[in-house]
Structure 1
Amino acid sequence: MRYRSMAVLAAVAVTALAGCGAEPEPALRLAAAESDGLGLEQVRVGLAFDQGGRGDKSFNDAAAAGLDRAKKELEVDGVEVTLSEETDEERVTRLRELAEAGRNPVIAVGFLYAKAVQTVAAEFPETTFAIVDDDSFSAPNVVSLVFAEEQGSYLVGATAALKSRSGRIGFIGGVRMPLLQKFEAGFTAGARKARPGVRVSVDYLSTPPDFSGFGVPDKAKEIAERMLADGVDVVYTAAGASGAGSLQAVAARKGTWAVGVDSDQYQTAEAGVRDSILSSMIKRVDNAVFQEIQAFIKGDRAGGVKRFDLKTDGVGYSVSNTKAVSAVQRKVDSIRQQILDGAVTVPTKP
């Protein structure tokens, strides 16, 4: 890799000078230590998971995939932390521990880390922090990684509407808040674009300050069952680990479909559930995490906002269940192109 080659050359230069009995010049020591962003020291990344941690088959697993890729391709050293309790104090503690251990960059997965990142980043100004799904504040050493979830949701909304036999589809959100309402807005608009007159049922698992909606699969299952009993035959759930309950409800009712979120859940679901997954709204948190680590290695340590959308392959929809999607894929891809061409502007509010 280029950065390793640069580091080796810098090391050779330093060794040659040392062999002549001379102390390397500061500029050469700096080159050896920071060549192309990585230099002779391995980058040590810290990743703090959102509710549920690795294994949620959704949001956290996407972030974990980005770190795994960086460990393999960029040869970084990466550690992960999972919350023992869902409090701001716990989040602060975990981020502070990573920073104190010399982890840099430190990546927080989820908007619930906003207060914690703001606090700890101020304490460690030489450490680069990144937060996924939040741009509510700015700091010189904080990078916000945000997504056009409404665009990906628009595509699965169109897919759901075109595939529905009853003309009734449903959306279940984790928490009724602006971030999740972007999913709802895109899903509903995409459905109505593809099939005017389609009916969309909407429900949420919790409302702030209650953020438990990302970890209550039983409640998601109950709501999905109610929707299905009312005639809904495609259910899109954007609720992290709670989505497992919704998937179970759909799998138990013949002739209905589930739409996954964040990761391609058709690829990770259990055999009894997989065939009921029509598509998933892909949110490339893996790409965002990997690219942020890559940017850090290349020397990009400045704060700011990085947005991932259809044009940057930051969001999309999955077609892994080819048998289910093939009949509608051409029309959905046509709608996707309209977004890319600017002919369609996807709403971000219901």
Structure 2
Amino acid sequence: MVKPTKWLPVVLLIALAATSACGSPIPEAKYSGVNAGAVLAPGGDSDNGFNDMTIAALGRAHHRIGVGIKRVTLSQRGDERAQRLNQLADQRYSPVIAVGDKYAADLSDVASQHSRTMFAIVDCPAPRAENVVNITFAEEQGSYLMGVAAARKSGSGHLGFIGGSSDAHTRRYQAGFVAGARSVKPNIAIDVQYLAGQPGVSSSDGRNSPTAARGIAAQMLERGADVLYHAAGSSGLGVFDAVVTARAQGNRGVWAIGSDTDQQLVTTPEQQKIILTSMVKRVDNAVFAFLADYSAGKATGGVRLMTLAGHSMDFAASGGYLVKYKLIAELNRVKQAIVDGKITVPTAP
């Protein structure tokens, strides 16, 4: 394969990934013969989420193990997914990494046309093929930590969980959250609602309905829930808005918890004040681990489940509230107990 001539621009995350603990640059590794391409989700870089974490993983792989790298972006329409995947495969990049579940259908077709190319898709269990690696996450483990944090912070003994759709994937968040909360307070009340199928929300739109989420969250708060955890994509912004409004109306003890990325980084200043923590999928570590295994000839097609043990999931402390309320030490103890197998987290409610 020909070494790519177009390299990633220098961004902060890559600069950090290529710097040693003492601040000096890590020498660029000898070219490994592997060329990795990535197609980002619509919006490109600077999303403070999966795109930026994937870029960081590519930069780390380039500097540490000599992987050639290239990434391409989509327009906001996102209707050129198959074109971009084919572009990288035709240019003999392998592996080709697709960021996000919206690539699933296109990747199924493209992978079948490029059987000698290895593909990977981030945070999606489909499609299944010999030349597709599905990088997935044990959401129940991270959600267990969120349940512990929520139960510790709750003054009312009443929590809420809001999911996008009631599928097996989202129910893992619910299962972990409920188990974590009840490990702290066995009798704690937990309201559970799913957005898909609610009035005005189609079965496929549960993760993109912030108005409906705001209404459900407001009802939970009125019934006495004081910490709400969402697993509902952009609908979660409605949950945050409801908690902000409740605070403004004098309900000072209410909080929200985010999921998938550090939601302190993608919300308004007012919303940041009510986000206790977030369950974070460390896509940077997950993608780098995959690239390291692929470069060593160890990667095969199929589901690759990333867990707390692989440092591919964590809790976010960026808001400062876990420090303020002295929750970090306990969360770290619980995390280690899960890693050590002392706590088994359920995957279904």
Q: TM-score range by the shorter chain?
A: 0.7 to 0.9
Distance 1:164 1:173 in 2: 20
Partner amino acid, structure 1, of 2:289:
Q
Could you tell me whether the CA contact under 8 Å between 1:48 and 1:82 is conserved in 2? Answer: no
Q: 39, 54, 59: which one pairs with 1:47?
A: 39
Which residue number in structure 1 is paired with residue 280 of structure 2?
Answer: 282
Give runs of aligned pairs for residues 245-324 of structure 1, distance below 5 A.
245-254=238-247, 255=252, 256-298=254-296, 302-324=300-322
Could you tell me whether the CA contact under 8 Å between 1:57 and 1:263 is conserved in 2? Answer: no
Could you tell me whether the CA contact under 8 Å between 1:153 and 1:281 is conserved in 2? Answer: yes
Deviation of 1:92 (Å)? 4.4
Which residue number in structure 2 is paired with residue 243 of structure 1?
Answer: 236
Deviation of 1:247 (Å)? 1.2
Q: Classify 1:188/1:298 alpha carbon distance in 2 versus 1 (closer, same or farther; 3 Å).
A: same
Could you tell me whether the CA contact under 8 Å between 2:98 and 2:122 is conserved in 1? Answer: yes
Partner amino acid, structure 2, of 1:229:
E
Greater mean alpha carbon deviation, residues 64-73 or residues 121-130: 64-73
Deviation of 1:102 (Å)? 4.9
SS in 1 for 2:195: strand
Is 1:178 matched up with 2:173?
Answer: no
1:191-214: CA deviation from partner (whole Å, max 9, x where unpaired):
011111111111112159832122
Distance 1:56 1:240 in 2: 18
Which residue number in structure 2 is paired with residue 66 of structure 1?
Answer: 54
Which residue number in structure 1 is paired with residue 6 of structure 2?
Answer: none
Is 1:149 matched up with 2:139?
Answer: yes
1:125-179: CA deviation from partner (whole Å, max 9, x where unpaired):
1222112233355322111111111000000111001101111111111121111
Deviation of 1:348 (Å)? 0.4
Deviation of 1:297 (Å)? 4.7
Q: 97, 101, 108: which one pairs with 1:118?
A: 108
Distance 1:241 1:54 in 2: 17
Is 1:210 matched up with 2:203?
Answer: yes
Q: Which runs of 5+ in 1 are unaligned?
A: 8-35
Distance 1:324 1:287 in 2: 23
Distance 2:245 2:311 in 1: 33
Is 1:222 matched up with 2:212?
Answer: no
Which residue number in structure 1 is paired with residue 70 of structure 2?
Answer: 77
Deviation of 1:281 (Å)? 0.6
Partner amino acid, structure 2, of 1:248:
D
Distance 1:130 1:82 in 2: 21
Q: 209, 223, 232: which one pairs with 2:225?
A: 232
More helix by share: 1
Greater mean alpha carbon deviation, residues 263-272 or residues 176-185: 263-272
Q: Classify 1:297/1:343 alpha carbon distance in 2 versus 1 (closer, same or farther; 3 Å).
A: closer
Partner amino acid, structure 1, of 2:74:
V
Distance 2:271 2:321 in 1: 15
Q: Classify 1:340/1:274 alpha carbon distance in 2 versus 1 (closer, same or farther; 3 Å).
A: same
Could you tell me whether the CA contact under 8 Å between 2:61 and 2:292 is conserved in 1? Answer: no
Is 1:337 matched up with 2:329?
Answer: no
Distance 2:188 2:70 in 1: 49
Count of aligned pairs: 310
Which residue number in structure 2 is paired with residue 14 of structure 1?
Answer: none
Deviation of 1:253 (Å)? 1.8
The alignment yields a C-alpha RMSD, in angstroms, of: 2.9
Distance 2:165 2:84 in 1: 24
Partner amino acid, structure 2, of 1:288:
A
Partner amino acid, structure 2, of 1:189:
A
Distance 1:106 1:211 in 2: 27
Instruction: Give 1 or 2 for the bigger CA radius of gyration.
Output: 1
Q: Classify 1:324/1:315 alpha carbon distance in 2 versus 1 (closer, same or farther; 3 Å).
A: closer
Deviation of 1:112 (Å)? 4.6
Deviation of 1:76 (Å)? 1.8
Distance 2:258 2:142 in 1: 11
1:293-332: CA deviation from partner (whole Å, max 9, x where unpaired):
4444555563233221111111121223334553333333
Greater mean alpha carbon deviation, residues 261-270 or residues 186-195: 261-270
SS in 2 for 1:258: strand
Q: Which runs of 5+ in 2 are unaligned?
A: 1-25, 63-67
Q: Percent identity?
A: 37
1:33-91: CA deviation from partner (whole Å, max 9, x where unpaired):
xxx233xxxx3513242xx6558967xx22432224424762622112257378xxx75
1:100-136: CA deviation from partner (whole Å, max 9, x where unpaired):
4555432223345433322221111122211223335
Distance 1:340 1:44 in 2: 30
Instruction: Compute the TM-score of the two structures, normalised by the length of structure 1.
Output: 0.78
Distance 1:145 1:178 in 2: 17
Partner amino acid, structure 2, of 1:174:
G
